[in-house]
Chain A
Amino acid sequence: MSTQTPDESETESESEGFSPGEKRRQVRDEAREAREEAEAAEESTPEGDTVPLKVFRYDPEIPEKQEPRFDEFRVPREPGMTVLDALMYARDHFDSSLTFRHSCRQAVCGSDALFINGSQRLGCQTQIQDLDNEPVRIEPLPHQDVVKDLVVDMEHFYEQMETVEPYFDPDETPEDELEEQFQTPENREHVKMSTRCIWCGACMSSCNIAAGDNKYLGPAAINKAYRFYMDEREGEQKQEERMEVIAENHGVWRCQTQFSCTNVCPKDIPLTEHIQELKREAVKDNLKFW
């Protein structure tokens, strides 16, 4: 028995009314489909039936692994396998000390953000067959301290998120306890993409400014602030407080529009666009003061 609803593909071709980010993703998806079709038509032989992996290893408690090194594994190639599948196979069959975070394996929990072939990606969202180079190089996220193997210290990331107070605050709740706080569909559309953040940390890890300036809030935190700042149900008092946090020296102004965050976000959130919108808001806000 199938409980699936009819498939409504979101890659339909009309492009009116689409935001720049959506147009970009559409172009990218179409290009990828075309590429995959071409590749499928071309080749019928797989590239060998094992996938070579080169995995970063570090363990402060084991003498041999106190100096980081790369271990090689050869994992049987299965159609549709992801990097996470490969890592799990390696751990289950070759080396049970191989340590990495993972949970949902469907790109909603944000646990398995890794540095795969030089890009920040989710392990569960990265298909082995989509990767251009083998052996597949798997490393922990850059710019963060490594705890063990592929596990990094996420404390700094969480601190920056907490700084923007990532929760809803309407100043006053309606007097009648059962009264709803409405949001128009347009407003929902405006904040829709920013609600998708899964706190994986890929964006912050890809930002060169976040790497240099330790106090920079980072794209994820600013996007979180955006999600609430732009929500019409939030209270004005709270809005002003939010603006003060993100318009600080190490808030939105540190963003240099490098676009790395937007490129790596596994949930396709147009982070740079959101940060830019907040910069413009801050400027308008400031000019009004004068």
Chain B
Amino acid sequence: MSTTRSSFDAGSMAWLLQRVTAAFLIAVLAFHFFLLHFVNHAADITLGGSAYRMQELGYLVTMLLFLYTATFHGVNGVYNALTNQGIEGTQKSVVKGILVVAALALAVQGTRLALALTQVQVTP
């Protein structure tokens, strides 16, 4: 059966991505909490310790993915909550714009900070 749909259905993609990122975040957020509160202790955070972890490639990639999925999931969640509350028209477009900018800023800043940590040479 050929589909004659001409417009991309953004609604269903956003819904699906919210769930896919949710599944990923369940695992990674749990891991993150575990690693940083139970395996290591938050009171003992040091620049050296954080840099040491971040220089492991697998960890760095996981943290970056964590950042991007959490940013999408959270900002999309806020957008949905506001739409459900009935925001519309110009106000909605303005808010959407602000959310997109905020999301990008967060993603960029987080990436910068992760990469900065990889540049620190850690001596034992």
A and B touch in the complex (CB under 8 A): yes
Q: Which chain A positions have C-beta within 8 A of B86?
A: 212-214
16 A-B pairs (CB sep. < 8 Å): A212-B84, A213-B83, A213-B84, A214-B86, A244-B5, A247-B9, A247-B12, A249-B11, A249-B83, A253-B15, A254-B84, A279-B12, A282-B11, A283-B15, A286-B13, A289-B5
B1 at the interface (CB under 8 A from A): yes
- Give residues of chain B (14-31) contacting chain A, Cβ–Cβ below 8 Å: 14-16
Nearest 7 CB-CB pairs, A to B?
A: A212-B85, A286-B12, A253-B11, A212-B86, A286-B9, A282-B12, A213-B86
Which single residue of chain A is at the shortest CB-CB distance from B83? A213
Which bracket fits the contact residues of B?
10 to 19
A-B contact count (CB 8 A): 51
Determine the distance from Cα of A212 to Cα of B83 in the docked complex, in whole angstroms. 8
Q: Which chain A positions have C-beta within 8 A of B4?
A: 240
Interface of A toward B, CB cutoff 8 Å: 208-209, 212-215, 236, 240, 244, 247-249, 251, 253-254, 256, 279, 282-283, 285-286, 288-289
Q: Which chain A positions have C-beta within 8 A of B12?
A: 247, 253, 279, 282-283, 285-286
Determine the distance from Cα of A209 to Cα of B4 in the docked complex, in whole angstroms. 31
A256 and B9 in contact (CB under 8 A), knowing A283-B15, A288-B3? Answer: no
Task: Give, as a whole number of angstroms, the nearest-CB distance from A183 to chain B.
Answer: 20
B11–A215 touching, CB < 8 Å: no
Q: Which chain A positions have C-beta within 8 A of B5?
A: 240, 244, 285, 289
Q: Which chain B positions have C-beta within 8 A of A214?
A: 86
B8 at the interface (CB under 8 A from A): yes
